[in-house]
Structure 1
Amino acid sequence: MVAIRETTSIKLDKHTKEEAKKVFAQLGISMGDAVNMFLTQVTLNNGIPFEIKIPNKETKSVMKDILENKNIEKLD
Protein backbone atom coordinates (compact mmCIF):
# COMPACT_ATOMS: atom_id res chain seq x y z
CA MET A 1 0.00 0.00 0.00
CA VAL A 2 1.38 3.39 -1.01
CA ALA A 3 1.05 6.14 1.58
CA ILE A 4 -0.83 9.17 0.30
CA ARG A 5 0.91 12.34 1.49
CA GLU A 6 -1.14 15.35 2.52
CA THR A 7 -0.06 18.91 3.25
CA THR A 8 -1.14 20.38 6.57
CA SER A 9 -0.50 23.61 8.44
CA ILE A 10 0.29 23.90 12.15
CA LYS A 11 1.37 26.78 14.38
CA LEU A 12 4.63 26.15 16.24
CA ASP A 13 6.83 28.03 18.66
CA LYS A 14 9.51 29.51 16.37
CA HIS A 15 12.49 28.84 18.67
CA THR A 16 11.42 25.25 19.40
CA LYS A 17 10.90 24.60 15.70
CA GLU A 18 14.37 25.89 14.78
CA GLU A 19 16.05 23.86 17.53
CA ALA A 20 14.14 20.74 16.49
CA LYS A 21 15.17 21.26 12.86
CA LYS A 22 18.82 21.17 13.97
CA VAL A 23 18.25 17.84 15.68
CA PHE A 24 16.40 16.44 12.66
CA ALA A 25 19.25 17.55 10.37
CA GLN A 26 21.70 15.59 12.53
CA LEU A 27 19.40 12.58 12.23
CA GLY A 28 19.09 13.04 8.47
CA ILE A 29 15.31 13.47 8.56
CA SER A 30 12.97 16.29 7.64
CA MET A 31 10.40 18.02 9.84
CA GLY A 32 7.72 16.16 7.89
CA ASP A 33 9.45 12.82 8.52
CA ALA A 34 9.59 13.59 12.25
CA VAL A 35 5.91 14.56 12.39
CA ASN A 36 4.96 11.41 10.50
CA MET A 37 7.02 9.31 12.95
CA PHE A 38 5.28 10.98 15.87
CA LEU A 39 1.82 10.45 14.38
CA THR A 40 2.64 6.81 13.61
CA GLN A 41 3.65 6.29 17.24
CA VAL A 42 0.43 7.98 18.40
CA THR A 43 -1.60 5.48 16.38
CA LEU A 44 0.51 2.49 17.46
CA ASN A 45 0.33 3.48 21.14
CA ASN A 46 -3.28 4.66 20.94
CA GLY A 47 -2.17 7.87 22.65
CA ILE A 48 0.74 10.23 23.15
CA PRO A 49 3.92 8.11 22.91
CA PHE A 50 5.50 9.60 26.04
CA GLU A 51 4.36 10.33 29.55
CA ILE A 52 2.64 13.64 30.21
CA LYS A 53 2.03 14.60 33.82
CA ILE A 54 0.12 17.39 35.48
CA PRO A 55 2.52 19.15 37.86
CA ASN A 56 1.91 18.52 41.55
CA LYS A 57 1.26 21.35 44.03
CA GLU A 58 4.95 21.80 44.93
CA THR A 59 6.06 21.93 41.29
CA LYS A 60 3.31 24.44 40.45
CA SER A 61 4.46 26.62 43.36
CA VAL A 62 8.08 26.54 42.20
CA MET A 63 7.06 27.31 38.62
CA LYS A 64 4.99 30.27 39.83
CA ASP A 65 7.95 31.56 41.89
CA ILE A 66 10.23 31.34 38.86
CA LEU A 67 7.79 33.24 36.67
CA GLU A 68 7.48 35.91 39.37
CA ASN A 69 11.26 35.94 39.98
CA LYS A 70 10.75 34.98 43.66
CA ASN A 71 12.75 32.70 45.94
CA ILE A 72 15.50 32.31 43.36
CA GLU A 73 19.06 31.81 44.49
CA LYS A 74 21.70 32.77 41.94
CA LEU A 75 24.58 30.36 41.51
CA ASP A 76 28.09 31.54 40.67
Structure 2
Amino acid sequence: MIHNKTDKISARIQPNIKKRGNAILSSIGIKPSDAITLFYHQIIIHRGLPFEARLPNDETIEAINELKDPNKRARLKKYDNVEQLMADLDS
Protein backbone atom coordinates (compact mmCIF):
# COMPACT_ATOMS: atom_id res chain seq x y z
CA MET A 1 0.00 0.00 0.00
CA ILE A 2 1.46 3.38 -1.03
CA HIS A 3 0.75 6.45 1.07
CA ASN A 4 1.20 9.79 -0.66
CA LYS A 5 0.00 11.95 2.22
CA THR A 6 2.78 13.59 4.24
CA ASP A 7 3.01 15.65 7.43
CA LYS A 8 5.35 18.54 8.06
CA ILE A 9 7.99 18.52 10.80
CA SER A 10 9.48 21.77 12.06
CA ALA A 11 12.68 21.58 14.09
CA ARG A 12 15.32 23.99 15.36
CA ILE A 13 18.94 23.16 14.56
CA GLN A 14 22.21 25.06 14.76
CA PRO A 15 23.05 26.61 11.37
CA ASN A 16 26.52 25.04 11.23
CA ILE A 17 25.14 21.57 11.97
CA LYS A 18 22.50 22.02 9.27
CA LYS A 19 25.06 23.24 6.72
CA ARG A 20 27.51 20.41 7.39
CA GLY A 21 24.79 17.76 7.48
CA ASN A 22 23.19 19.02 4.27
CA ALA A 23 26.57 18.98 2.53
CA ILE A 24 27.07 15.32 3.44
CA LEU A 25 23.53 14.40 2.43
CA SER A 26 23.96 16.22 -0.88
CA SER A 27 27.20 14.36 -1.58
CA ILE A 28 25.37 11.04 -1.27
CA GLY A 29 22.30 12.22 -3.15
CA ILE A 30 19.80 12.35 -0.29
CA LYS A 31 17.49 15.27 0.41
CA PRO A 32 17.20 16.36 4.07
CA SER A 33 13.50 15.44 4.10
CA ASP A 34 14.36 11.94 2.85
CA ALA A 35 17.03 11.60 5.55
CA ILE A 36 14.48 12.52 8.21
CA THR A 37 12.06 9.96 6.77
CA LEU A 38 14.81 7.31 6.84
CA PHE A 39 15.57 8.25 10.44
CA TYR A 40 11.93 7.83 11.42
CA HIS A 41 11.78 4.44 9.66
CA GLN A 42 14.80 3.36 11.70
CA ILE A 43 13.13 4.56 14.90
CA ILE A 44 10.16 2.36 14.04
CA ILE A 45 12.33 -0.66 13.15
CA HIS A 46 14.43 -0.34 16.33
CA ARG A 47 11.47 0.70 18.48
CA GLY A 48 13.67 3.52 19.72
CA LEU A 49 16.66 5.50 18.56
CA PRO A 50 18.70 3.59 15.97
CA PHE A 51 21.86 4.22 17.98
CA GLU A 52 22.86 4.06 21.60
CA ALA A 53 22.04 7.28 23.44
CA ARG A 54 23.17 7.29 27.03
CA LEU A 55 25.01 9.37 29.57
CA PRO A 56 28.66 8.58 30.24
CA ASN A 57 29.43 6.63 33.41
CA ASP A 58 31.30 8.16 36.36
CA GLU A 59 34.68 6.85 35.18
CA THR A 60 34.24 8.44 31.75
CA ILE A 61 33.08 11.74 33.25
CA GLU A 62 36.14 11.75 35.52
CA ALA A 63 38.44 11.12 32.53
CA ILE A 64 36.77 13.90 30.53
CA ASN A 65 37.15 16.33 33.41
CA GLU A 66 40.79 15.31 33.83
CA LEU A 67 41.47 16.19 30.19
CA LYS A 68 39.83 19.60 30.68
CA ASP A 69 42.24 20.45 33.52
CA PRO A 70 45.48 21.77 31.94
CA ASN A 71 47.57 20.81 35.00
CA LYS A 72 46.34 17.22 34.98
CA ARG A 73 46.53 16.99 31.18
CA ALA A 74 50.21 18.02 31.27
CA ARG A 75 51.01 15.03 33.52
CA LEU A 76 49.47 12.47 31.16
CA LYS A 77 51.74 10.23 29.09
CA LYS A 78 52.05 11.15 25.44
CA TYR A 79 52.83 8.83 22.55
CA ASP A 80 54.06 9.59 19.04
CA ASN A 81 52.44 6.51 17.53
CA VAL A 82 50.33 3.46 18.29
CA GLU A 83 53.38 1.21 18.54
CA GLN A 84 54.71 3.23 21.50
CA LEU A 85 51.33 3.07 23.20
CA MET A 86 51.04 -0.69 22.67
CA ALA A 87 54.60 -1.27 23.92
CA ASP A 88 53.78 0.69 27.08
CA LEU A 89 50.56 -1.27 27.58
CA ASP A 90 52.41 -4.58 27.15
CA SER A 91 55.09 -3.67 29.71
Task: Please state which band the TM-score falls in when normalised by the shorter chain.
Answer: 0.7 to 0.9
Counterpart residue number, 2:32: 31
> TM-score, normalised to structure 1's length?
0.76
Q: Percent identity?
A: 22
Q: Higher Cα Rg: structure 1 or 2? A: 2
Per the alignment, in what secondary structure is the counterpart of residue 25 of structure 1? helix
Query: Higher helix share goes to which structure?
Result: 2
Pairwise CA distance, 1:65: 4.2
- CA distance in 1: counterparts of 2:41 and 2:53, whole angstroms: 18
| Two-structure CA RMSD over aligned residues (Å) | 2.1
> TM-score, normalised to structure 2's length?
0.66
Per the alignment, in what secondary structure is the counterpart of residue 72 of structure 1? helix
Counterpart residue number, 1:19: 20
Map 1:1-76; keep pairs closer than 5 Å. 1-66=2-67, 69-70=68-69, 71-73=72-74
Q: Which runs of 5+ in 2 are unaligned?
A: 79-91
One-letter amino acid of the structure 2 residue matched with residue 51 of structure 1: E
Pairwise CA distance, 1:7: 1.8
Moved over 6 A (4+): none
Pairwise CA distance, 1:62: 2.9
Q: Which runs of 5+ in 1 are unaligned?
A: none
**CA, structure 1 residues 58+2, in 2 after alignment: closer, same or farther (shift >3 Å)?**
same
Matched residue count: 73
Pairwise CA distance, 1:18: 1.3
Which is bigger in relative contact order (C-alpha 8 A, separation at least 6)?
Answer: 1
